[in-house]
Structure 1
Amino acid sequence: MVEYDSSLNRIIFFLIYAITLSLLVLRWKKALYVLVLSKDIFLYSLLMLAVVSIFWSFEPSTTLKNTVTLIGSSLFGLYFVSRYSLKQQFYLLAWTLGIVIVLSFIFALALPKYGIQSDLGGRPLWRGVFTHKNGLGGRMVTSSIVFFLLGYQSQRRSWLFWGGFSLSILLLLLAGSISSLFNLLIIILGFFAFQIWRWPYPVMVPTLIMMATISQSLYLWLSNNASVVFSSIGKDATLTGRTDLWPLVIDMIWKHPWVGYGYGGFWQGWDGESAYIWLNAGWTPNHPHSGYLALCLDLGLLGLGLFFLGFWRSYLQGFIFMRSSNSALDIWPLMHMTYIFLASLTESNLLESNSFVWILYVAACFSVRMRHEIKIKS
C-alpha cells in the first residue's frame, strides 16, 4: 500500500478556501442574495450543528479542523452557483473531469505504482489520481453524468462529450467499481424516467403508476434472489464485509443516538471510540461504509433528520425546477441528488469535508431553491 503525505493537500485546500472567501466578499451582494433567496434552513441548520458539535465532540481538535473545511466546501458551492449559470457550471465541470480522466490514464499507464492497486485476489484495478479505486469509480459516475447530459443536449461538438462519456465508462470498468457502475445505470435510467414529469398529466400519471408497479415487482424479486445476483457479478452477499460491520456501528450509534460523537470525533483508531469496532470486526475500517451511518455517528439522529428534511425538500423542488424547463441540463440537480442517495448506501462521503460531491450537492440545492423562489415571486 502506498503512503501519502497529506500536508500539501491541506495547504492547497486552505488556499482554495481563502480565495473562495475573498471572492465571496467581493461579490457579497450576489452571495447574500443566493443565501437569502434560497432559504435553505435545513442545510444551514445541519452545518451549524456540525460547528457546535465541537462542544460535545470526543475529539474536539479533529472536529474543529473538519468543520472549517466543511464550511469551506459549502462556501465553494455557494460561490459556484452565485458566479456561474448552470450551463457555465457544466462546461467547467466538463473541463475539470476531462483533466481528471487524462491524468488517471497517465498515472495508471506511466506510474502504475500510484495509479493501479490490487484487490484481495491480486487482480490489478485502476485508481488513477485517487487513493482508492472507489474514489475513481465515484468520480467517474459524476463524469459520466456530466458528459452524458452535455452530449444529449448539445448539437455542436457532441462527439467530444460522448467521447468523455465513453472514457468515463471505460475507467469505471477498469476500476472494477461494480457499485458505482450499478449506480450509474440506475441514474441513466432515471434520466429518461424523470422526463416523464414533463408530459401532460393524463399521460404522466398512469405511466408513473405503471413504472412504480414494475419497480416494486423488481425490488421484491431482487430481495428474494440477492445471493444469486451478487454472485453473478462477483460480489458476496455481505457487500465486502459491510453487512458485518454495520451492526457494530449501530451499537455505537445507540450509545449517543441524538447528537453523535461530534463531527469527525468517532474514528480515532485504537485511541477513540472506534476501538470497539476494530476489536470486534477483525479489521480496521476508518469509516462505516455508509454515509447515513457516518452521519449518525458524527451528528446523531438529529443530524440525519436535518439532512433528509433538506434533501427531500430540494429533491421535490428539483422536479418543479425540471418540469418548468425543456433543457436536459436542468435534470442535473435531480440526477446528482439521486447519485448521493444511492452512493451513501455503501460509501461514507455524504457529509465529508473537502468533498467534491458535497460541493456539487450544495450547488444543486441552491440552484433548485433559487429557481423555486423566483417562480413563486413571478
Structure 2
Amino acid sequence: MRKILLFAEQGFTIVSLLMYSGAIFVVVLSGGAGQSDIVEYDSSLIRIIYSLIYAVTLVLLVLRWKKTLYFLSKDFWLYSLLLLTAVSIIWSFEPSTTLKNSFALINSSLFGLYFASRYTLKQQLHLLAWNFGIIVILSFIFAIALPKYGIQNDLGGPKWRGVFTHKNGLGAKMVTSSMIFFILGYQTQRRSWLFWCGFSLSILLLLLSASGSSLLNLLIIILAFFAFQIWRWPYQFMVPTLIMMAAISQSLYFWLSNNPDVLFSSIGKDATLTGRTELWPLVIDMIWKHPWVGYGYGGFWQGWNGESAYIWLVAGWTPNHPHNGYLALCLDLGLLGLGVFFVGFWRSYLKGFAWVRSSKTAFDIWPLIHMTFIGLSSLTESNLLESNSLTWILYVAVSLSVKM
C-alpha cells in the first residue's frame, strides 16, 4: 500500500510539473493559433485541472505540516514578495485581474514549497527528467505528425514549437531540459546513456526552434556549471582561478560592448533584439509614472482600455508583456517589488554557493544553475514572476532547498 501511495504521489508531481510547464493544452485548445492570431477558446478544463492541483498540493502540505512549517520559516523575502502581489490589489489598476493572478501565483508557489519539502535535489531532478522526457517526445510527435500544432508558420518561415504556443517557449524550456539531463548524465553512472539521449534531443529541439537567445543562454549556463565546480577547489587554487576567469569575462564584456553586432548576428538577432530595445524605453516611461508600487500585479497590460494603450499606440504593435522580467516586475510592483525580489534572489544565490562548497555532487549545483538561468532569461523574457509558471515554481523550490 505504501508503494502504491508513493507511486501515486510521484505521478501527481509529474502531471503537475507538466501542467506548470504550459505544455500541450493551450496550443491544442487554441487550434494551433499563431502569435498574431486572436483566438477565443474554452479554458475551463485548464482551470479545473489547476484547481485540483492546488487542492491536492494543500492537502499534501497539511499532511506534512511540521516539515511545511519548517520550510515556511526559511525565506522571509520570498514570502514578502508573494504577500506584496496580493496586497497590490489595493492600488491595482485592474483589481479583478490582480486578485485572480495573485491567487494563482500563491497557489503555484505552494507547489514549489511542496516540491522542495517533499523531495531531495536528486529526486527533484529525476522527476523533472520524467516531465521533460514526456515534453521532448510529444514535441517531436506534434511537429512531425501534427504540424498544425507543432510548427509555427507566422514568423517568416516554419519554426518548431512542439507542445508550446511559441517557438521561444520551446526554446526556453529546452534550456532547462538540457541542463537537467546534462546534470543527471554527468553525475549518474547507471543508465547515463538515457540522460545523454535526453540531453541530445533537447539540444536538437532547441536548434529546431531557432531561438537564438535560448541557445546563447544554454552555452553560458554550461560554462557556468563547470565554473561553479571551481568553488569546491582548495582556496590556493580556487582564488587565482576565479580572478583569472573574472578578468577574461570582463575583457570579453568590453569587447562585445564595442562590437555588439557580432553577438547579435551569432544568435540571429538584429540590434533591436526583434523590437525589444525599442519597446523598453516606452515601458520605462510608464514605470516612472508609478515608480514605487507599480500598477498592481497584472494590472498594466489591459489592452486599449488600460495603461498599455500608450505603448500600443506609440510602438505600433500590441505586445502583452515588456519582453523583460525585471521591467515586468517594475510595472506590477514598482521599485519596491523589484528591490524585494533582488534581496531575496541575492541571498538565495549566496546560499547556493555555500551549498555547492559544502557538497560534492553535480545535483547540488542545480539551484545555482536555475537561478543563473532566471537571471539571464529575464533579460529578454517576462516570466520572472508569472503565475502557474514552471520557471517560478522551480525558483521557489531551489531557493528553499539550499536553506535547509
Provide TM-score, normalisation by structure 1: 0.95
How far did 1:78 drift?
A: 0.5
Mapped to 2, the partners of 1:5 and 1:221 lie a distance apart of 50
Q: Which residue of the partner structure matches residue 285 of structure 1? A: 319
CA contact (8 A) 2:152 2:167 kept: yes
Identify which of 250, 257, 260 aligns with 1:223: 257
Give the 5 Å matches for 1:272-311.
272-311=306-345
Residue aligning to 1:74: 109
Amino acid at match of 1:198: R
Q: SS where residue 264 of structure 1 aligns?
A: coil
Q: Identify which of 19, 25, 31 aligns with 2:68.
A: 31
Give the conservation status (yes or no) of the 8 Å contact 2:167–2:211: yes
Distance across 2 between alignment mates of 1:7 and 1:130:
19
For the pair 1:151 / 2:192, whether they are aligned, the reply is: no
Match of 1:331 in 2: 365
Q: Is this contact kept in 1: 2:215–2:267, CA < 8 A?
A: no
Match of residue 164 from structure 2: 130
Name the counterpart of 1:169.
203
Report the counterpart of residue 25 of structure 2 in structure 1. Answer: none
Q: CA deviation at 1:282?
A: 0.4
User: Is residue 2:394 matched to residue 1:357?
Assistant: no
Which digits, 9 at most, give the CA deviation of each residue in 1:126-148, with x for residues without a partner?
A: 11111111111111111001000
1:113-135, Cα deviation, whole Å (9 max, x unpaired)? 111102532x1111111111111
Separation in structure 2 between the aligned mates of residue 118 and residue 256 of structure 1, nearest angstrom? 39
- Distance in 2, matches of 1:150 and 1:13, equals 29
Q: Is the contact made by 2:225 and 2:369 (CA closer than 8 Å) also made in structure 1?
A: yes
Q: CA deviation at 1:111?
A: 1.0
Residue of structure 2 aligned with 1:314, choices 343, 348, 369? 348
Say if 1:233 and 1:184 are closer, same or farther in 2 by CA, change over 3 A.
closer
Match of 1:247 in 2: 281
Q: Does 1:204 align with 2:238?
A: yes
**CA drift at 1:95:** 0.4
Cα-to-partner distance string for 1:65-96 (whole Å, 9 max, x where unaligned): 00011001110001111111111111111001
Match of 1:17 among 48, 54, 79: 54
Residue-by-residue CA offset, 1:328-362 (whole Å, 9 max, x unaligned): 10000000000000000000000000000011000
2:119 is equivalent to residue 106 of structure 1: no
Q: Distance in 1 between matches of 2:302 and 2:268?
A: 32
Deviation at 1:209, TM superposition (A): 0.6
Count of residues in Structure 1 that have an aligned counterpart in Structure 2:
367
165, 168, 174: which is aligned to 1:140? 174
Matches within 5 A, 1:168-187: 168-187=202-221
Post-superposition CA distance 1:193-219 (Å, at most 9, x none): 001110010111111110000000000
Q: What per-residue deviation string (whole Å, max 9, x for no partner) do you get for residues 235-264 of structure 1?
A: 100000000000000000000000000000
Corresponding residue for 1:45? 80
Where structure 1 has 5 or more consecutive residues not aligned to the other structure, the ranges are 371-378
Displacement of 1:22 in angstroms is 1.3
| Runs of 4+ residues over 4 Å off in structure 1 | none
Measure, in 2, the Cα distance between the counterparts of 1:5 and 1:159: 41
Question: How far apart, CA to CA, are the structure 2 residues paired with 1:233 and 1:44?
Answer: 37
Q: Distance in 1 between matches of 2:154 and 2:218?
A: 22
Tell me which amino acid in the other structure corresponds to 2:99.
L
Q: Is the 8 A contact 2:117 2:401 kept in 1?
A: no
